A and B are shown apart, each in its own frame.
Chain A
Amino acid sequence: MLRLTDILVELGGFNLRLDSLEVAPCEYLVILGPNGAGKTVLLETIAGLHPVRSGRVEFLTDSSGVAAGAASTDVTAWPPEKRDIGFVYQDYLLFPHLSVEKNIAFGLRGRVDARDRAGRVREAAAFTGVDGLLGRKVTGLSGGEQQRVALARALAIRPRLLLLDEPLAALDRTARRDVAQEVKRTCGRLGVTALHVTHSLDEAVSLGDRVAVVAGGRLLQTGSPEKVLRVPACRQVAELTGCENLLEGRIIGRRVALTGGPTLAFAGAPGGSAPDGARVTVALRGEDLVANVPGSAGGAGAAENCFPAVVEAVEPGAAHWTVRVHCAGEAGVASEVTPGCSLAVFVMPPEVIRLGLVPGAALELSVDPGRVVICAS
């Protein structure tokens, strides 16, 4: 559906660089990145709102999917009004001087005859459930309602691509949940390809067919949410996807010795084998570390990577608690005298009680070798 190649956008002091990004038809792609990463600039560039210093934006006309050599149209020079791209900003940006109906109808002038317009407006309003609001002024609407109107306005033009800039950021928790799933479902129903930009990991994981991680104006990794979480391409991606534990270590055969910490077995590494003795970054996600009573064998498959630890601090949380532990190097393994390493472990509240996790308590941690991730630095 969309292909970006070697994009360079210079905006005041900020540069956006993108080697390559492809979006398949009907795909729901989530672009994940911290604030200031250039996500909005990227969307605006795709929509044709910024001059492109170099690079190409192409629409792929082959509807059977993205494939090498698919027929494409270079739209880099096309003005925004010709691109048929729907855009929904974070703060909705409904036209305050127009009613809900006129807002939704705005894009239809020139596309649709006057007599068909009312029907199209009602149809678009029905997509997002705002048909009851058509006569209303925009100023009295709640956040969720405004968001739905903004979405209806974008969908009314039957866009080939829908760009959503942090569409859920201004909504409260309840509205966010409802609107998120609705947006994805509506896109699926209408066969609309969507690019959803966010800094929320939860949104990326729950909504994205694929996730693209962007930071500092560069695209760092694209892949399924699983892939991006489990096999981060580099340390920065691991950080951005909320990996709590990023540690230095040295490869010893099929194991990695964490500096000041235990030696763990790992399964696989990005790009194939990791050379012996190489210094690498190890990513251990908080949810992959399993806490247990000291001395128990842990799960059958995890017995290999068991090591003792002591609780330093316990932080309560809504869905899970974060237990900060301190663990020493493995006894018997020759290593420099070090003060040990700290890890953050996510534990469900009932487990915290069962294991008696309070500062100073001893526990045993284990981690599946498949979850020990070696990153490029």
Chain B
Amino acid sequence: MTTDPTGYRRTGWVFWALGGLLLLFVVLPLAVTIIDGGWSGLAKVAREWGVLRSIGITFLGALIATAVAFVLGTPLAYLLARRRFLGKSVIQGLVDVPLVIPHTAAGIALLMVFGRQGIIGRPFASLGLFFTENLAGIVIAMLFVSLPLFVGSAQASFELVDTRLEHVARTLGASPWRSFSRVALPLAGRGLMAGAVLMWARGTSEFGAIVILAYNPKTISVLIWELFSGYGLSVALPVTALLILIALVVLVIFRLVLPSRASDGRWRRG
């Protein structure tokens, strides 16, 4: 018979009760939607071309946005993690700005640049290249609102890599590039992947900026909105349930395969 002097078992129920309320708040909507959506409704909707195409565009757009963020954001995260320079806090703040801008507002701001009359949009439009109402617009919107998630995570990952490891690499003969690519990058790699997953997930759920910049082709959140506002709850329900199921499956896969940060700051699987 174990004697537990800490008393955590006895007193922890308050924490569990409070936390449990929050968990219930998450689980209840998901469960009710899936159950009410009904299996037959789900199965039918899962075969509809429009729905599948929408899911595909959503996932693809988020993937491209994440890839762009990875290529451009990793160097930025490294600089922020390693160097001290004038205006660093300003740049740090800039990276976080998309998080605090309402997404419809972000969409409009992006339209001012990438729209057909926009600063960048106009010269490209004369060449026949457009950034709105297509996949490019979706990618731009997703990239803008979710890049802070990647850059923040990447920066934290680089900060966890001891600078002196790179110092040692340099003294052993590695150029700055080699000490980055052979030491810093591999060691931060798990954190970078986790940040990418986070960004991808956030990108797939984007709505406000996409609605402004690229209503068509419809991402899944736009599709659900259109079904709901145009035809009502019962029509939107099966698609919603399907998407929630898919999202849960993807999340579980990622959690099992990719690392997340444990309490000591180190990355672990699962």
Contacts and interface: CB of A to CB of B under 8 A. Distances in A.
The interface size bin for chain B is: 10 to 19
Contacts of B169: 95, 106
Nearest to B167: A49
A126 to B, nearest CB: 19
Interface residues of A, number: 25
A152 B84 CA distance: 33
B171 A93 contact: no
B167 A47 contact: yes
Nearest to B169: A106
B52 interface: no
A47 B171 contact: yes
B212 to A, nearest CB: 44
A79 interface: yes
Contact of B183 (A95, A153, A154): A95
B167 A87 contact: yes
Interface in B157-186: 162, 164-165, 167-175, 182-183, 186
Nearest to A50: B167
Nearest to A81: B173
A93 B168 contact: yes
Contacts of A83: 171
Contacts, number: 56
A157 interface: yes
B164 A157 contact: no
Contact of A107 (B162, B165, B173): B173
A97 B168 contact: no
Interface string B6-44: 000000000000000000000000000000000000000
A32 interface: no
B81 interface: no
A157 B172 contact: yes
Contacts of A96: 187
A87 B171 contact: yes
Q: Which 6 pairs of residues, A with B, have the shortest CB-CB distance? A: A107-B172, A80-B170, A87-B171, A81-B173, A107-B173, A80-B171
23 contacts: A12-B84, A47-B170, A47-B171, A48-B171, A49-B167, A80-B170, A81-B170, A81-B171, A81-B173, A81-B174, A81-B175, A86-B171, A87-B168, A93-B168, A95-B165, A95-B168, A95-B169, A96-B187, A106-B169, A106-B172, A106-B174, A107-B173, A107-B174
